[in-house]
A = this chain, B = another copy of it.
């Protein structure tokens, strides 16, 4: 593959035989998600779909951080923009990860927070290194991981997803492996990835697509669930306390749990 022809702003993209690798690269923003990142991840998936030889898309994070969720601190963003991005746009990306006819693997080496947990959860396979840490701090903002939960529940089950959301406590790599948030725990992900890549190269893309579709049909989530996720996130984002916390963070870098209550 001669890809990429274009430059990316938030990703480092590289191509190898049958594999596209996207490294999230917004280090000053702790690899948080903004509109550009969502658009560029879609562009990588577009390219994967367009390239018949591509069987595997790998998502990583630069500099020991996987992805820390929605970027509240982007000065150009209004709360409404954040709500929209955190709602329909983000859910659209997660859903696409579960339908694109290639295998999507997230390699989590470092922190995955909020929406970053969602990207991992919606991936077909998650490889975690020992320094991976997963957490859902949304409730501390007065928010919920609305769009993450449908994908997290199908990956790890009801209770572990609930427990992460309610306690907001971090989950270590080893715990993540135990609850199947990480499918594989590997100090050297490269070695495992070679094995996985060799396996998946033996599958037809049509078979991967059929499996993704069939498994989705065997689960109980529906288009209704997706609408409800977006509606609930929008509702929560419109609460004055939430807006105040986000604005406090954007203007003074004060996290809600650091302020007086």
Contacts and interface: CB of A to CB of B under 8 A. Distances in A.
A200 interface: yes
Contacts of A196: 167, 169
A253 interface: no
Contact of A124 (B146, B162, B204, B219): B162
A180 B168 contact: no
B140 A241 contact: no
Interface stretch (A23-31, A81-89, A209-217): A209-217
B160 A180 contact: yes
Task: State the oligomeric state as a number of copies.
Answer: 3
Interface in A164-191: 165-169, 178-180, 183
B140 A202 contact: yes
A51 interface: no
A150 to B, nearest CB: 6
Contacts of A241: 204
A43 interface: no
Contact of A166 (B144, B208, B217): B208
Contacts of A65: none
A119 to B, nearest CB: 15
B218 A144 contact: no
Contacts of A215: 149, 158, 161-162, 165
B142 A204 contact: yes
B203 A140 contact: yes
Contacts of A140: 202-203
Given A153-B218, A154-B158, A210 B166 contact: no
A163 interface: yes
Given A159-B180, A203-B140, A167 B125 contact: yes
A261 interface: yes
A228 interface: yes
Contacts of A143: 207
Contacts of A200: 166-167
Those 3 A-B pairs whose CB atoms lie nearest each other, nearest first = A154-B158, A155-B159, A220-B220
10 contacts: A140-B203, A144-B207, A144-B210, A158-B215, A162-B211, A166-B208, A166-B211, A167-B200, A168-B203, A217-B228
